[in-house]
Amino acid sequence: MPRFPTLARLGAGIVLIITLMPSLVTTATAQESRVETQVVEDTPRVEVLPLTGSVSAPQTSQLSSAEAGQVSELAFEMGDTVTQGQPLLSLDTRDITLESQRARADLSQAEIERDEAQRLVSDANQLSAQNFAASQRRQRESSLAAAQATLEARQADYSLAQLQLERHQIRAPFDGMVTHRESNVGEWINPGDTLLTLVDLASLRLDFSVPLSAHQRFADSQLEVRLEGSEQWHPARTLARIPLNVSSRQFLLRAVPEKPLEMLPGMAVEGRLQLNGESGPSVPRDALIRRPDGSVSVWLARQEEDTWRAFEQRVEIGSSHQDGVAINEGLSAGDRVIVVGNERLEEGQSVSLSDD
Band of pLDDT at residue 297, cut at 50, 70 and 90: very high
Element (H, E) at 321: strand 307-321
Whole-number mean pLDDT of the chain? 86
The pLDDT of residue 115 is 95
Rounded Cα–Cα distance for residues 62 and 47 (Å): 42
Percentage with pLDDT > 90 across the chain: 61
Per-residue model confidence (pLDDT) at position 322: 65
For residue 36, pLDDT over 80 is answered with: yes
Determine the pLDDT at residue 87: 95
User: Is 181 a residue whose pLDDT tops 60?
Assistant: yes
Q: Which helix (H) or strand (E) holds 252?
A: strand 250-257
Banded model confidence at residue 7, pLDDT cuts 50, 70, 90: very low
Residue 189 near residue 68 (C-beta atoms within 8 A): yes
Taking residues 239-259, what's their average pLDDT?
Answer: 89
Q: What is the maximal distance between C-alpha atoms in the chain?
A: 177
- How many helical (H) and strand (E) elements, i.e. helices and strands, does the chain have? 3, 23
Task: Encode pLDDT of 186-241 as tens digits.
Answer: 999 999 999 999 999 988 999 999 998 888 888 888 999 999 888 899 999 999 99
Rg (CA), the chain: 44
- Phi and psi of 291, rounded to 5°? -90, 160
Residue 17 has pLDDT above 50, yes or no: no
Using one digit for the tens of pLDDT, what is the confidence trace for 101-133? Answer: 999 999 999 999 999 999 998 888 887 655 667
Q: What is the DSSP letter of 128?
A: -
Measure the N-to-C terminal CA separation of the chain; round to a whole number of Å: 38
pLDDT category, 13, cuts 50, 70, 90?
Answer: very low
Q: Which pLDDT belongs to residue 131?
A: 65
Arithmetic mean of pLDDT, 46-67: 91
The per-residue pLDDT for 208 is 95
pLDDT at residue 129, as a whole number: 58
Answer yes or no: is pLDDT of 29 > 60: no
Of 158-167, 211-220, 304-313, least confident by mean pLDDT is 211-220
Q: What is the mean pLDDT of residues 301-314?
A: 92
